[in-house]
Homo-oligomer: A and B are copies of this chain.
Amino acid sequence: MSIADNGSARPLYARVREQLIERIRSGAWKPGQLIPNEFEIAAEFGVSQGTARKAIEALASERLVVRRQGRGTFVVEHTPAHVMFRFFNLYDAHREQIIPDSGHAAAVVAKATPEERAELRLGRNDKVIRIARVRTRDGRPFITETSTLPEPLFPGIAELPEIPNTLYDLFQKSYGILVMRTDDRLSAVVADVASAAALGTAVGTPLLRIDRVAFALDDRVVEWRVSYCHLGDGHYLARTKLSDDTDRR
């Protein structure tokens, strides 16, 4: 049964690409798994090897798969180190990436506030999971962080004996949800009494506020997170390239 049979206007390689993405999204192909080679995919969809190649290369450029010459093509795997490296953009005064620790994380389930519904694009009676923690560095607190997750997507997280340091690898491994993109909205604030106490600093200290929304493979919003960072001589690194996509949804 060939995918080429219908008269759709979309290019063949694009339709093959979507079918392959769907297999990753649905979990038919697991993280780290070897996928069929170019000729097998070509035969399955009734296209030439070159067309299958173009579809696979598109996935590779999106980092959904990793190609290894001589070995094969593998579904991307979010490891804790990988997640930190890719999605944690804080650097110290020496321009080294900061690897933070997670303090005790408290998780609760609650009805979403109007603001949470707006950020997470939820319906009226949806529930959310809130995870609050203070992150440390060399044992010293430097970030207060509150994550809010749509409860239906992540049942049972609140009951875990311990919340991991990085959520995104848990999202992929336990819930099959792959974080593809984060939008961080950054602003400067001064520490209020509560923040100052939590971070061990003075009221009025400047803090970097990071308001993050994370998107999954299908563009669903899977996390809203607000962090207040006491960075000292550190900073947040944002790289902008001419080659970046231009659409700001």
**Given the complex of chains A and B, what is the CA–CA distance between A82 and B91 in angstroms?**
29
Is the Cβ of B248 less than 8 Å from the Cβ of A187? no
Identical chains bound together, number: 2
Q: How many residues on the A side are at the interface (Cβ–Cβ under 8 A)?
A: 45
Interface positions of A from 72 to 107, Cβ below 8 Å from B: 76, 85-87, 89, 91, 97
Q: Distance in Å from the Cβ of A205 to the closest Cβ of chain B? A: 8
* A63: chain B residues within 8 A (beta carbon): 242-243
Interface positions of A from 216 to 249, Cβ below 8 Å from B: 229, 231, 234-244, 246, 248
Q: Which of A33-41, A144-152, A206-214 contacts B (4 or more CB under 8 A)?
A: A206-214
* A242: chain B residues within 8 A (beta carbon): 62-64, 76, 86, 178-181
Is the Cβ of B187 less than 8 Å from the Cβ of A231? yes
- At the interface, yes or no: A190 with Cβ under 8 Å from chain B? yes
**Given the complex of chains A and B, what is the CA–CA distance between A179 and B241 in angstroms?**
9
Nearest B residue to A83, CB-CB: B242
Nearest B residue to A211, CB-CB: B235
Is the Cβ of A240 less than 8 Å from the Cβ of B86? yes
- At the interface, yes or no: A188 with Cβ under 8 Å from chain B? yes
Which of A179, A181, A186 has the largest number of chain B CB atoms within 10 A?
A186
* A85: chain B residues within 8 A (beta carbon): 246
Is the Cβ of B235 less than 8 Å from the Cβ of A186? yes
Is the Cβ of B189 less than 8 Å from the Cβ of A188? yes
**Given the complex of chains A and B, what is the CA–CA distance between A237 and B109 in angstroms?**
29
Q: Distance in Å from the Cβ of A28 to the closest Cβ of chain B? A: 20
Nearest B residue to A189, CB-CB: B206
Is the Cβ of A207 less than 8 Å from the Cβ of B185? no
Q: Distance in Å from the Cβ of A134 to the closest Cβ of chain B? A: 18
Task: Give A contacts to B, CB under 8 Å.
Answer: 61-64, 76, 85-87, 89, 91, 97, 178-190, 204, 206-209, 211, 229, 231, 234-244, 246, 248
| 5 interchain residue pairs of minimum CB distance | A188-B188, A238-B238, A188-B206, A185-B235, A186-B236
